[in-house]
Structure 1
């Protein structure tokens, strides 16, 4: 086995041992096709108040600006589909936020993987990314054959669905590169038809400023009256477009204990959420991604839903 092939297999085997669902690798190069798409999306203000999306335009498209002399983008998927979901009569939280904040869980695994690469292969420079830097995660994952980007703009994988996190390690090591797979959305429009706020404005194009996740997490001002009665009881995030996707029939529950929710999260009634105190919020969401919206933000969302 040649060294490049050997290194590739080593990395993929260790990724599997660390609990990642899958690992794909693509060449670190400028994303030529994405440049006009991203520019058009930003020019149409589909990012709403998410002004950070306007920053580092070049870095979003060129990994060599993030990691000098980078050769490979190692993309990884980590399943978060829960074994149990919330009381269906209650206010809802997106499944990705049930357990410990994924940034901490995945960052830890990526650190292990990068250390492993440096110990086993030698002097390799790289950086780990988890949804907190100007990296087009879904595009890199699709380029490395881990799935295709569906009409709801999420990455989809046959026999797996879409309930997983995407992360990357960008390194200055040449590896064997995977190839993209074909699109399997076909004529299905389930996600487009189901979105209560019409955020999927065209197949494969999501207006972020119309998304329920945007209203309940990113929007810092008051909720617009135009979405009254359209948030479908989501108080943090939204899973509608994924829940209705036929490919998610194949979703299987994760095996990561840190993603298991506080039992209170699953059982609370609407009335109990409406009466939540700062102390109970801290207790349930101590290490959760829900802390991003803060107690005041969650309360604003709940009050809007019940009014």
Structure 2
């Protein structure tokens, strides 16, 4: 089997489809991650995200997701925007949610990717993933040499920072495997120091139950009063630990038209956010990841972050 030729083809096809980086790791049990994941769950850092407690074995063993799997192909897709709307003042949403929901955009590319591999190689069994299954994507990307896991638990890449989506193909095709790169965080603690809710209690460990993204997206009940005044105007997600990361000075704007925000998004004042209607919500976020919070969730977040004098 021409392993090198197939590997070269997969990496060239990844670039053709717009992925910034492609790395490949051997599909095997993640022995190092198993005790870390278990300890993280025991500390309750998943908060109300009970789904993270499910499929423990599948998270660690890709052959349970794809029988006979031999390779995990990891991919990075840039979403860094041309304009950072969070610097304009007012209420803020995470950069990844400016445009169309990345699940749909990238999943379509992955389907094309799998089809092209089968055209080139023949019958290849596998599955494509983009933040949609129990796959430890950062661990696989690190093993594939796409970067290292930083102190904020996000994958960091020396050429583009961390403003990218991760995606994977788990396939039963043997390929040439890449090796990991070293950790370049050094003594920097910028992400830990900047987090207003102290969600990074120690390097490389994030307490998900204290993260602003958790409170504004995952938590469906009332936001705890003890974090009132700590959100720095974030109403959907949060980019603080990424914005302060020195490696993100290398981030360059994406070229994906689907990720461009609606033209009216940057113009919304705090007052307009507070009075957002169903029609405006649908117009701005019809195909956006913001729909995960639903209008009611977004309104809850807005009420929570607005200063009391603006609520009167």
TM-score by length of 2: 0.97
Name the counterpart of 1:14: 13
Name the counterpart of 2:130: 130
What is the CA–CA distance in structure 2 between the aligned matches of 1:175 and 1:89, rounded to whole Å?
Answer: 48
Question: Retained in 2: the 8 A contact 1:160–1:252?
Answer: yes
What is the CA–CA distance in structure 1 between the aligned matches of 2:242 and 2:231, rounded to whole Å?
Answer: 15
Secondary structure at 1:75's aligned position in 2?
A: strand
Give a deviation string over 1:54-110, Cα, whole Å, max 9, x none: 000000000000000000000000000000121621100000000000000000000
Is 1:142 matched up with 2:142? Answer: yes
Secondary structure at 1:205's aligned position in 2?
A: coil
Give a deviation string over 1:264-295, Cα, whole Å, max 9, x none: 11221111111110110011000000000000
What is the CA–CA distance in structure 2 between the aligned matches of 1:110 and 1:159, rounded to whole Å?
Answer: 23
Matches within 5 A, 1:186-205: 186-205=186-205
Question: Retained in 2: the 8 A contact 1:236–1:298?
Answer: yes
What is the CA–CA distance in structure 2 between the aligned matches of 1:188 and 1:266, rounded to whole Å?
Answer: 32
Name the counterpart of 2:94: 94
Name the counterpart of 1:152: 152
Give a deviation string over 1:113-151, Cα, whole Å, max 9, x none: 000000110010000001010000100000000000000
**Runs ≥4 in structure 1, deviation > 6 angstroms?**
none
Question: Retained in 2: the 8 A contact 1:149–1:183?
Answer: yes
Name the counterpart of 1:63: 62
Question: Retained in 2: the 8 A contact 1:89–1:270?
Answer: no
Name the counterpart of 2:292: 292
Matches within 5 A, 1:223-302: 223-302=223-302
Question: Retained in 2: the 8 A contact 1:199–1:210?
Answer: yes
Secondary structure at 2:24's aligned position in 1?
A: strand
Is 1:166 matched up with 2:166? Answer: yes
Unaligned runs of 5+ in 1: none
What is the CA–CA distance in structure 1 between the aligned matches of 2:264 and 2:39, rounded to whole Å?
Answer: 43
What is the CA–CA distance in structure 2 between the aligned matches of 1:267 and 1:43, rounded to whole Å?
Answer: 44
Question: Retained in 2: the 8 A contact 1:148–1:182?
Answer: yes
Secondary structure at 1:138's aligned position in 2?
A: helix
What is the CA–CA distance in structure 1 between the aligned matches of 2:152 and 2:121, rounded to whole Å?
Answer: 39
Secondary structure at 1:247's aligned position in 2?
A: helix
Name the counterpart of 1:215: 215
Q: How many residues in Structure 1 have an aligned counterpart in Structure 2?
A: 306
> What RMSD in Å do the two structures reach over aligned CA positions?
0.7
What is the CA–CA distance in structure 1 between the aligned matches of 2:158 and 2:274, rounded to whole Å?
Answer: 39
Q: CA deviation at 1:159?
A: 2.1
